[in-house]
Chain A
Amino acid sequence: MTIDWQAFTPWTSLLGGALIGLAAAAFVLLNGRIAGISGIVGGLLTPKKGDTGWRLAFVGGMVAAPLLWLLVSSLPVIQIDASFPMLVIAGLVVGVSTRFGAGCTSGHGVCGISRLSPRSLIATGAFMLSGFATVFIIRHLLGGL
Chain B
Amino acid sequence: MNKSLLSAFIAGLIFGIGLLVSGMANPEKVLGFLDLAGPWDPSLALVMGGAVAVGLIAFNLAGKRQTSLLGDVMRLPTRRDIDKPLVLGSLGFGIGWGLAGFCPGPALVALGAGELKALVFTVAMLLGMAIYELLQRQRPV
Contact = CB atoms under 8 A, between A and B. Distances in A.
A61 B64 CA distance: 28
B32 A4 contact: yes
B93 A7 contact: no
Given A82-B27, A105-B97, 14 more contacts: A13-B23, A14-B47, A16-B19, A20-B14, A24-B55, A42-B129, A45-B130, A67-B112, A80-B102, A110-B52, A113-B55, A130-B95, A131-B34, A136-B37
A110 B48 contact: yes
A128 B89 CA distance: 12
A82 B118 CA distance: 10
Given A110-B55, A136-B36, A88 B124 contact: yes
Interface string B1-27: 010111111111111111111111111
Contact of A95 (B52, B105, B118, B127): B127
B68 A82 contact: no
Given A17-B18, A17-B51, A41 B126 contact: yes
Interface in A1-59: 1-4, 7-10, 12-35, 37-38, 41-42, 45-46, 53-55, 57-59
